[in-house]
Homo-oligomer: A and B are copies of this chain.
């Protein structure tokens, strides 16, 4: 049978500590050459909505240790509006019932069969969070207790969970431009994580002097400032364009997630200014010498050291994720779903065939 899972089900069955653990195990494998990544591609075309583009994103990965491969697909109506004075990347929920479209398909690498199909939302943020969590685990001070955050959206929740999973966080400050959003975030996650979360009125008020500073926004422009960096701080982001180059270069130790970055955008010929959706990526990549920068794999394998003293500052750029992450985290989700009897089962025959394709 092929398992159909919902975001709600996945949210209930996988925990952030599990995601971090499985991702670390998967990264050891990948580092040893026992994993495969087909980097994400963005293919764009016109769509009915004005000022929007249709974007088909896909990424593949294989995690042989977990006998699982994954394809992650996003079928998005993308806009780049200016909100609260900042250019953002905003996906429009144009599917029936005002919904977005992201899917993960998992396959068994011994039989080829599709084992599960599910929306990507929960796993998407869990794997982004778990990756930032590994950055904190290997780079932040052991005794880090305070956390500053900019961003109070979907991704921010998982970033918070990840920090709390690897450090004993006591105090969290959160800024995002919309007061209502940041207050709602603090209420929701204060209860969920059992930590004190305080909404504040500026990025500076959230970040300055904190042990860990996390950016997780939808902004396409810089939202962090070099002047906020305190001795011993670990600061990180989930989008290349959140932290300006001068701040990144000010860190004593700087790591990127990986070099398996997105491929050049493919599109029909009639679309204007496509690179806008990638914000300041190229500027930052050039500044940090992206092609030779040390990666999370270098840290996990021990080839590169993290901090050597509590005074040092560290920076982790959690750039583009991979289908490989979905293969690893997905394998755990399917295993647990089966154990717990969660999800809808469809006949695997619906998704396989008796003719040689």
Contact = CB atoms under 8 A, between A and B. Distances in A.
Interface of A: 4, 6-7, 32-38, 41, 43-49, 54, 56, 58, 60-62, 64, 69, 71, 73-77, 91, 93-103, 105, 107, 109-114, 117, 119-122, 124, 153-154, 266-270, 344, 346, 348-357
B60 A113 contact: no
Contact of A112 (B95, B154, B266, B353): B95
B60 A58 contact: yes
A121 B355 contact: yes
Given A99-B354, A107-B56, A268 B64 contact: yes
Q: How many copies are assembled? A: 2
A53 to B, nearest CB: 10
Given A38-B43, A41-B38, A348-B96, A353 B119 contact: yes
B101 A34 contact: no
Given A60-B43, A95-B113, A100 B54 contact: no
Contacts of A354: 7, 93, 97-100
6 contacts: A6-B350, A33-B269, A38-B56, A38-B266, A97-B354, A102-B353
Contacts of A349: 96-97, 99
Given A35-B268, A75-B114, A266-B37, A101 B45 contact: no
A123 to B, nearest CB: 10
A58 B56 contact: no
Contact of A350 (B34, B344, B351): B344
A154 to B, nearest CB: 5
A56 B69 contact: yes
Given A54-B109, A94-B110, 12 more contacts: A7-B353, A7-B354, A33-B269, A49-B110, A54-B62, A91-B357, A95-B352, A96-B352, A97-B349, A100-B356, A101-B114, A121-B353
Contacts of A100: 112, 352-357
A117 B103 CA distance: 12
